[in-house]
Structure 1
Amino acid sequence: MPKLAANLSWIYQEVPFLQRFGAAAAHGFKAVEILFPYEAPAVDIAAELKKHKLTQALFNLPAGDASKGERGFAALPGREADFAAALDKALDYAKVLECTTLHIMSGMIAPGADVKAMHKTFISNLKMTADRTAKSGITLVLEPINHRDIPGYFTNTTGQVEQIMKEVAAPHLKLQLDLYHMQVTEGDLTKRTERLFPITAHVQIAGNPDRNEPDIGEANHLYLLDVLDRLGYQGYVGLEYKPKTTTGAGLGWAAKYGIKA
């Protein structure tokens, strides 16, 4: 059965960041994910994880200044030093948090950008990262993000990520399969999930089209969780959604997975 991970950057917004770990544990979560844990010292986060017996399932490399539209550096020519610094920081946090899955954000396509040069830069940075982490036990993941929510994000489709993975040819570079994004961009969720399963290392869900609880909207994400179970998925499923009201009020659907509303 898929293991649910509370995304503390999206849910439990009712309480300050470091209090969200306890809130998640109180509802029965055994794992959490975070977009960017860097707002708190790694040792403080590690203390919360230990206190509440939680696993840090995933977090992102630093991605720059979101207020300026930055969404990562990995595919940006001329920003190689920024990417290397982001990788260093992420690896430091991963060691302290005992996190073994890191999401690498590719970055934004600027007006007039040379997309071929971006692809080349991305491959180069990914190969460097794969080499550095080859013996670390860390899995690196790439996520296609839809252009309705983030117009111009470089990695946009599962096919693009598959091609990038083939070129990098690192066994620990995998797909972060966000079913919400895939529904917006590509659809055909069940068949795509089945086809992509062998390269999938992490899954995220949210209801379509408004990114609320996964039992709300046009896509049957609860059915898709059963599909993942049938396929033998043993990884985490991150809950990366905006609760319609409070986090607790929207968790009734998750009782099957050991979560208490």
Structure 2
Amino acid sequence: MIRLSANLGFLWNDRPLPDAIRAAKAAGFSAVECHWPYGEEAGAVAAALAETGLPMLGLNTAKGRPGEFGLSALPGREEEARAAIDEAFFYGASIGARAVHVMAGASKGVAGAAETFDAHLRYACDRAATRGMGVLIEPLNHRDAPGYFLDTLEGAAAIVRRLGCPDLSIMFDCYHLQIMGGDLIRRFEAHRDLIGHVQIAAVPSRAEPDEGEIDTPRLLRAFDAVGYAGFVGAEYRPRGSVEEGLGWMASVV
């Protein structure tokens, strides 16, 4: 069974987060997730989640300066990276979030980046264990996030296996991974045991998942067939109003 989550970094982002949560509930989503909610009062967000009964699946660590896309794989920025992880887990725990996406940053090819990222993921896993939360890492494509340290599914899988942290898993974003190699069904099957969350959007437009290169209904049926029981995050940029573009939901649930 496909359960859909609204990514409120892109959907209903023209209003306060508590109101976006209510809009997601009204539209028929079963969960929500977000990017950087830190400017929102946590109590109001938690109250909206309680009111609607929607779980908050996750949030991101801070993205740093423009073009950095995170801090955790940037040698020399360790103090800021740890502070960003602490911030994410503190806020996430305050609203009942289930996971934190630890953003690596734009450090592809930089000496020491891999070791720095490993160290910060261990740090995040320690925080996750005390909070009862998870840690996610996500490969990003080189068009939208040039120079991002983590840009392949296979690289993410190697990290998860190497660190052996039970709370660490991969965000399988179909938009990014279609751009970075495609072959989504086979690659999902090969890494199924390491995948903690799935996200969808059209490729190449990143609009509603009803156009472009990916047959989203077929893709999600294939994921369901191999036992994926988690949520699927709708992380796309609407072509118009969010409500006008929700017709795709009927084709996948």
Q: How big is each residue's C-alpha offset from its partner over 1:36-82, in whole Å with a ceiling of 9 and x where there is no partner? A: 111202111111111222110111112223xx223111111111111
> Once the two structures are aligned, what percentage of the paired residues are identical?
39
Kindly indicate whether the alpha-carbon contact (under 8 Å) linking 2:33 and 2:59 is maintained by their aligned counterparts in 1: yes
Q: How big is each residue's C-alpha offset from its partner over 1:165-221, in whole Å with a ceiling of 9 and x where there is no partner? A: 222121211110001101001111111111121110000000111101111111111
- Asked if 1:245 corresponds to 2:240, the answer is yes
Deviation at 1:245, TM superposition (A): 1.4
Give the 3-state SS of the residue equivalent to 1:120 in structure 2.
helix
Matched letter for residue 153 of structure 2:
T
CA RMSD of aligned residues (A): 1.6
RCO greater where, 1 or 2, for CA within 8 Å and sep 6 or more?
Answer: 1
Partner of 2:143: 148
Q: How big is each residue's C-alpha offset from its partner over 1:9-32, in whole Å with a ceiling of 9 and x where there is no partner? A: 111245444321111111111211
Per mean C-alpha deviation after superposition, the further-off stretch among 56-65 and 7-16 is: 7-16
Residues paired across the two proteins, number: 253
TM-score by length of 1: 0.92
Unaligned residue ranges in structure 2 (runs of 5+): none
Kindly indicate whether the alpha-carbon contact (under 8 Å) linking 2:174 and 2:199 is maintained by their aligned counterparts in 1: yes
Question: Residue 176 of structure 1 is aligned with which of 155, 160, 171?
Answer: 171
Matched letter for residue 76 of structure 1:
L
After the TM superposition, which residues 1-261 of structure 1 pair with which residues of structure 2 at under 5 Å, given as runs?
1-65=1-65, 68-109=66-107, 115-255=110-250
Matched letter for residue 171 of structure 1:
P
Give the 3-state SS of the residue equivalent to 1:51 in structure 2.
helix
TM-score by length of 2: 0.94
**How many Å separate the matches in 2 of 1:47 and 1:232?**
33
**How many Å separate the matches in 2 of 1:203 and 1:145?**
13
Unaligned residue ranges in structure 1 (runs of 5+): none
Matched letter for residue 95 of structure 2:
L
Deviation at 1:255, TM superposition (A): 2.3
Q: How big is each residue's C-alpha offset from its partner over 1:92-141, in whole Å with a ceiling of 9 and x where there is no partner? A: 112111112110100112xxx76240111111111222233234321111
Deviation at 1:164, TM superposition (A): 1.4
Deviation at 1:229, TM superposition (A): 1.2
Kindly indicate whether the alpha-carbon contact (under 8 Å) linking 2:160 and 2:194 is maintained by their aligned counterparts in 1: no
